[in-house]
């Protein structure tokens, strides 16, 4: 029997957060992001073939957008009439500009649904647009179909909503360099952001693996630098193989996309990533590199990707790029990257050494600050403000107007906000959508597994700063780097959704009104169906399986989810056994299970875990070390080497463990003495406890 050696009993540490009650009442109402205030009233409004849209001239575009959203799935026409006209329809949707609603900001709105009339009011068109998005989510999910759908009762519950966003910067970044996403894809992506009331698209346009923005003054950037492959200036990489791969956006296409986004109340922040991450630039214009041979590499393993800081022509080139970029993008900021710069080339280059001498720079860190400050001047000279990744704070001071994106964690953002810089929080462990969502799934690991729940748990304003500094936290943003996306379109959506839905609520809804169970309920019972109807390849959440004394219990990821399984290691499909009750199994290693929603399924969960042996809350642990007992008799069913993992789920305090002992009928039979930690990071958190003589009648503590 001793051959069945490795077992584990989990102790889950849960530090409970006190959450306020959920304001949104009816279970059938499931708006994401959750409105600030929503009251459900008696009755319903029905959209009918003769429903009309009333508005005034300045909002006619919003009325047309609403008409387009509603008419395809319903097949109704939705005549648009001036609010002043004597509209005869009994069924009216009115969009009203109302200056008295300025306290809700330009993006806030009120929405009242009465049996004969829907009124959306805002002080600005942005608020009307968001009111329309909310209205859409009050309708049956078929309203998101892109074809006429028969036999649907297009009813909306009567409600009174008053809503406004928590944060003014609610962003999402897409890396279009490592993988090229064509203009149509970008537009579709923008559409899907707008539905979630995201108001900023950060367009990562240049990096080591492809230059994507047409710069007329330097045409080789896109003639050469937009392409990779065996016979191109850029080597094959990122899954694209030996063939010529790439593409770029012409200035005309960019103008069109900027307008497309603006119509959906999304600003576009362009990023030109320098002075590192610049191989696409230096492959097109090698003279931009430092002179001499340099084999050093960036953290990503890329060499020859840093611009020479001592070559004056480089700043002329950058000035041209920023000048052209500034004209294409009306948004007030331009992103200049500034991340992960390999200083190696600067320390050897004669021009950089001469620059250090001339400017009195003591080290390469100060060269970086010199470079970034020159960029700041260039950006400002073209009428824009600069923003960069948190490394731009290294080596010296910057103008207070310059904004910081805090990616490596929250720390740099907090420091920058203290100094007075505007800050966008993009901490990897919460907002990096290139991180894997579960073990065995695609993605980076450096910031840990980033689940939808983890994203949802993030509170960008939960930082220890005075109010006048907290106001420097402008917002929050998700980032999707694309080096791991080998099937760009489908995989990009898989990585983005539903994590973006969680991020949208983090950005829009105050923390006191956020509650994971409530959100997950709205997501799983209604919103996933909307995403499905929109054709979004979202990630279906995986089920979990637990085993105890030979009996497997499957936990679906949400109420009502269908889980199918196999026991012979084959991938479950639509015909596999549907789980409906616990079952016995002699060996769980061949167990495979998947969640099925409509035509979609999750990735497979393999095998079954041991049930958690115990749970902790903050009340049970203290600031001083103390001994705590758990009865684990129920978890142990055989002799062998058992493992105990301490797993931190949520909360703001880590747990430090000094030693673990196992007692059989009051007598110590095993102990493992080493310091472990379970928290934001887990360190040495596994304890090994051999049980040589198991007895089914013994008590194990
Ligand atoms: C770091 S975040 C990078 C990117 C990578 C990403 C992968 C940042 C500013 N730079 O170049 O793609 O990590 O997670």
Closest CA relative to residue 94, chosen from 75, 80, 109, 74: 80
Residues 204-253 have pLDDT tens digits of 999 999 999 999 999 999 999 999 999 999 999 877 889 999 999 999 99
pLDDT score, position 26:
41
Please give the distance, rounded to the nearest whole angstrom, from the Cα atom of residue 372 to the centre of ligand 1.
Answer: 19
DSSP string, 435-477: B-SSTTSSSB-TT----HHHHHH--TT-SS--HHHHTTEEEEE
Model confidence at 24, pLDDT cuts 50, 70, 90, reads very low
**CB contact at 8 A, 273 and 337:** yes
- Distance separating alpha carbons of residues 30 and 140, to the nearest angstrom: 10
- Percentage of the chain modeled with pLDDT above 70: 95
Residues 413-447 have pLDDT tens digits of 999 999 999 999 999 999 999 999 998 898 999 99
Residues 89-110 have pLDDT tens digits of 789 999 999 999 999 999 999 9
For the cut 50, the answer to whether the pLDDT of residue 670 exceeds it is yes
**CB contact at 8 A, 12 and 546:** no
Q: Which range among 105-109, 293-297, 410-414, 516-520 shows the weakest confidence by mean pLDDT?
A: 293-297
- Catalytic (active-site) positions: 207, 277, 340
Residues 124-158 have pLDDT tens digits of 999 999 999 999 999 999 999 999 999 999 999 99
Please give the distance, rounded to the nearest whole angstrom, from the Cα atom of residue 501 to the centre of ligand 1.
Answer: 22
Strands 583-584 and 551-555, bridge-based pairing: antiparallel
For the cut 50, the answer to whether the pLDDT of residue 5 exceeds it is no
pLDDT score, position 131:
98
Q: Which helix (H) or strand (E) holds 280?
A: helix 279-284
Q: Given the CA of residue 389, which atom of ligand 1 is nearest to it?
A: 9
Please give the distance, rounded to the nearest whole angstrom, from the Cα atom of residue 135 to the centre of ligand 1.
Answer: 37
Give mean pLDDT, residues 37-65: 96
More confident residue, 679 or 498: 498
pLDDT score, position 159:
98
Atom 9, ligand 1: which residue's CA is nearest? 339
pLDDT score, position 216:
98
Quickly tell me which residue has 């929080």 as its tokens. Answer: 425
- Distance separating alpha carbons of residues 84 and 96, to the nearest angstrom: 11
Please give the distance, rounded to the nearest whole angstrom, from the Cα atom of residue 482 to the centre of ligand 1.
Answer: 9
Q: Given the CA of residue 426, which atom of ligand 1 is nearest to it?
A: 2
- Distance separating alpha carbons of residues 114 and 46, to the nearest angstrom: 10
Q: Given the CA of residue 444, which atom of ligand 1 is nearest to it?
A: 14
Residues 6 or more apart in contact with residue 450 via CB below 8 angstroms: 428, 429, 430, 431, 432, 433, 435, 436, 437, 499
For the cut 80, the answer to whether the pLDDT of residue 612 exceeds it is no
Give mean pLDDT, residues 615-632: 83
Strands 227-228 and 245-246, bridge-based pairing: antiparallel
User: Nearest 5 degrees, angle CA 125-CA 130-CA 133?
Assistant: 130
Q: What is the best residue among 206, 277, 477, 481 to mutate for testing ligand 1's pocket, by most ligand atoms within 8 Å of CB?
A: 481
Closest CA relative to residue 593, chosen from 581, 602, 580, 584: 602
Closest CA relative to residue 572, chosen from 592, 556, 589: 592
For the cut 70, the answer to whether the pLDDT of residue 170 exceeds it is yes
Give mean pLDDT, residues 542-555: 93
Cβ-in-10-Å burial (0-12, 13-18, 19+) of 354 comes to exposed
pLDDT score, position 679:
81
pLDDT score, position 10:
42
For the cut 70, the answer to whether the pLDDT of residue 4 exceeds it is no
Residues 186-212 have pLDDT tens digits of 999 999 999 999 999 999 999 999 999
For the cut 50, the answer to whether the pLDDT of residue 490 exceeds it is yes
pLDDT score, position 88:
73
Strands 37-46 and 155-163, bridge-based pairing: antiparallel
Residues 6 or more apart in contact with residue 455 via CB below 8 angstroms: 430, 431, 478, 499, 502, 503, 506
Residue 184, Cα to own-chain centre: how many angstroms? 21
Q: What is the best residue among 206, 272, 274, 340 to mutate for testing ligand 1's pocket, by most ligand atoms within 8 Å of CB?
A: 340
- Distance separating alpha carbons of residues 212 and 250, to the nearest angstrom: 8
**CB contact at 8 A, 361 and 355:** yes
C-alpha torsion sign, points 202, 428, 276, 233: negative
Please give the distance, rounded to the nearest whole angstrom, from the Cα atom of residue 486 to the centre of ligand 1.
Answer: 17
What is the DSSP secondary structure assignment for residue 641, as one 8-state letter?
E
What is the DSSP secondary structure assignment for residue 611, as one 8-state letter?
P
Please give the distance, rounded to the nearest whole angstrom, from the Cα atom of residue 481 to the centre of ligand 1.
Answer: 7
- Percentage of the chain modeled with pLDDT above 90: 81
Atom 8, ligand 1: which residue's CA is nearest? 339
Q: What is the best residue among 338, 339, 413 to mutate for testing ligand 1's pocket, by most ligand atoms within 8 Å of CB?
A: 339
Q: Given the CA of residue 482, which atom of ligand 1 is nearest to it?
A: 12
- Distance separating alpha carbons of residues 492 and 478, to the nearest angstrom: 13
pLDDT score, position 599:
83
Closest CA relative to residue 30, chosen from 499, 508, 498, 521: 521
Model confidence at 13, pLDDT cuts 50, 70, 90, reads very low
Residues 315-351 have pLDDT tens digits of 999 999 999 999 999 999 999 999 999 999 999 999 9
Please give the distance, rounded to the nearest whole angstrom, from the Cα atom of residue 642 to the centre of ligand 1.
Answer: 38
Model confidence at 19, pLDDT cuts 50, 70, 90, reads very low
Quickly tell me which residue has 């937009």 as its tokens. Answer: 226
Kindly state the tokens that stand for 70: 């509603």
pLDDT score, position 641:
86
pLDDT score, position 624:
83
Closest CA relative to residue 505, chosen from 515, 490, 491: 515
Phi and psi torsions of 357, nearest 5°: -60, -50
Quickly tell me which residue has 């720079």 as its tokens. Answer: 361
Strands 80-82 and 52-55, bridge-based pairing: parallel
Residues 250-285 have pLDDT tens digits of 999 999 999 999 999 999 999 999 999 999 999 999
pLDDT score, position 618:
76
Model confidence at 542, pLDDT cuts 50, 70, 90, reads very high
More confident residue, 343 or 651: 343
For the cut 80, the answer to whether the pLDDT of residue 395 exceeds it is yes
pLDDT score, position 499:
98
Atom 6, ligand 1: which residue's CA is nearest? 481
Give mean pLDDT, residues 454-472: 96
Q: Given the CA of residue 175, which atom of ligand 1 is nearest to it?
A: 12
Atom 5, ligand 1: which residue's CA is nearest? 481
Pocket of ligand 1 (CB under 6 A): 339-340, 389, 407, 432, 434, 444, 481, 483
Give mean pLDDT, residues 609-626: 81
**CB contact at 8 A, 136 and 69:** yes
Closest CA relative to residue 649, chosen from 543, 511, 505, 516: 516
pLDDT score, position 487:
64
Q: What is the best residue among 300, 388, 450 to mutate for testing ligand 1's pocket, by most ligand atoms within 8 Å of CB?
A: 300
For the cut 70, the answer to whether the pLDDT of residue 23 exceeds it is no
- Residue 231: CB atoms within 10 Å: 9
pLDDT score, position 18:
27
- Residue 341: CB atoms within 10 Å: 31
pLDDT score, position 502:
98
For the cut 80, the answer to whether the pLDDT of residue 538 exceeds it is yes
**Predicted model pTM:** 0.89
Atom 4, ligand 1: which residue's CA is nearest? 481
Length of the chain: 701
Helix (H, G, I), strand (E, B) or coil at 311: coil
Mean pLDDT in the chain?
A: 92
**CB contact at 8 A, 434 and 478:** no
Q: Given the CA of residue 407, which atom of ligand 1 is nearest to it?
A: 2
Model confidence at 87, pLDDT cuts 50, 70, 90, reads low
Phi and psi torsions of 164, nearest 5°: -160, 155
By 3-state DSSP, what share of the chain in percent is helix, strand and coil, each rounded to 5? 30, 25, 45
- Distance separating alpha carbons of residues 503 and 457, to the nearest angstrom: 9
């Amino acid at each position: 029997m001793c051959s069945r050696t490795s077992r584990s009993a989990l102790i889950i540490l849960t530090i409970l957060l006190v959450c306020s009650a959920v304001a949104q009442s009816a279970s059938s109402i499931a708006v994401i992001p959750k409105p600030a205030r929503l009251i459900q009233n008696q009755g319903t409004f029905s959209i009918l073939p003769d429903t009309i849209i009333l508005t005034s001239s300045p909002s006619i575009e919003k009325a047309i957008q609403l008409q387009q959203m509603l008419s395809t799935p319903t097949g109704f026409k939705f005549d648009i009439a001036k609010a002043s006209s004597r509209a005869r329809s009994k069924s009216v949707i009115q969009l009203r500009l109302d200056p008295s609603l300025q306290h809700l900001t330009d993006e806030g709105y009120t929405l009242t649904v009465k049996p004969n009339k829907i009124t959306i009011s805002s002080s600005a068109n942005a608020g009307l647009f968001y009111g329309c998005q909310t209205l859409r989510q009050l309708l049956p999910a078929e309203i998101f179909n892109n074809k006429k759908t028969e036999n649907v009762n297009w009813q909306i519950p009567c409600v009174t909503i008053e809503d406004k966003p928590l944060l003014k910067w609610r962003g999402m970044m897409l890396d279009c360099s490592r993988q090229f996403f064509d203009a149509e894809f970008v537009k579709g992506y923008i559409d899907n952001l707008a539905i979630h009331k995201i108001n900023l698209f950060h367009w990562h346009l240049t990096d080591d693996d492809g230059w994507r923005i047409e710069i007329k003054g330097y045409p080789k950037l896109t003639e050469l630098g937009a392409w990779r492959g065996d016979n191109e200036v850029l080597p094959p990489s990122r899954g694209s193989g030996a063939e010529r791969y790439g593409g770029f956006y012409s200035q005309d296409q960019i103008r069109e996309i900027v307008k497309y986004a603006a119509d959906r109340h999304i600003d576009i922040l362009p990023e030109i990533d320098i002075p590192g991450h610049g191989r696409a630039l230096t492959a097109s214009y090698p003279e931009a590199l430092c002179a001499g041979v340099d084999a050093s590499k960036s953290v990503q393993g890329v060499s020859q990707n840093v611009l020479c800081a001592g070559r004056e022509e480089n700043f002329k080139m950058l000035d041209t790029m920023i000048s052209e970029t500034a004209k294409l993008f009306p948004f007030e900021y331009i992103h200049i990257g500034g991340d992960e710069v390999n200083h190696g080339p600067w320390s050897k280059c004669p021009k950089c050494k001469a620059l250090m001498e001339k400017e009195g720079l003591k080290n390469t860190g100060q060269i970086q600050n010199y470079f970034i400050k020159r960029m700041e001047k260039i950006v400002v000279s073209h009428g824009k403000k600069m923003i960069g990744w948190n490394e731009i704070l290294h080596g010296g001071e910057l103008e207070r107007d310059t904004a910081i994106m805090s990616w490596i964690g929250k720390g740099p953002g907090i420091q920058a906000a203290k100094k007075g810089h505007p800050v966008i929080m993009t901490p990897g462990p919460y907002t990096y959508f290139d991180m894997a969502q579960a073990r065995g799934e695609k993605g980076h690991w450096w910031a840990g597994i980033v689940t939808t729940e983890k994203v949802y748990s993030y509170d960008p304003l939960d930082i220890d700063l005075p109010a006048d500094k907290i106001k420097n936290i402008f917002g929050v943003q998700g980032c999707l780097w694309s080096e791991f996306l080998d099937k760009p379109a489908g995989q990009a959506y898989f990585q983005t959704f539903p994590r973006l839905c969680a991020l949208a609520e983090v950005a829009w809804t105050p923390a006191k009104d956020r509650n994971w169970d409530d959100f997950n309920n709205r997501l799983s019972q209604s919103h996933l169906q909307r995403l499905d109807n929109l054709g979004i390849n979202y990630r279906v959440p995986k089920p979990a399986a637990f085993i105890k004394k030979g009996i497997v219990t499957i936990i679906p990821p949400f109420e009502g989810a269908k889980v199918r399984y196999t026991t012979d290691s084959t991938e479950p499909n639509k015909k596999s056994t549907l789980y409906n009750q616990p079952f016995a199994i002699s060996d769980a290693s061949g167990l495979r299970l998947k969640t099925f929603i409509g035509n979609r399924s999750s990735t497979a969960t393999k095998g079954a875990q041991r049930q958690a042996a115990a749970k902790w809350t903050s009340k049970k642990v203290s600031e001083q070390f103390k001994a705590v007992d758990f009865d684990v008799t129920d978890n142990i069913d055989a002799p062998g080497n058992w493992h105990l993992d301490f797993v931190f789920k949520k909360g703001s305090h880590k747990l430090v463990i000094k030693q673990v002992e196992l007692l059989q009928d009051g007598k110590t039979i095993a102990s493992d003495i080493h310091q472990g930690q379970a928290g934001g990071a887990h360190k040495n958190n596994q304890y090994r406890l051999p049980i040589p003589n198991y007895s089914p009648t013994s008590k194990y503590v």
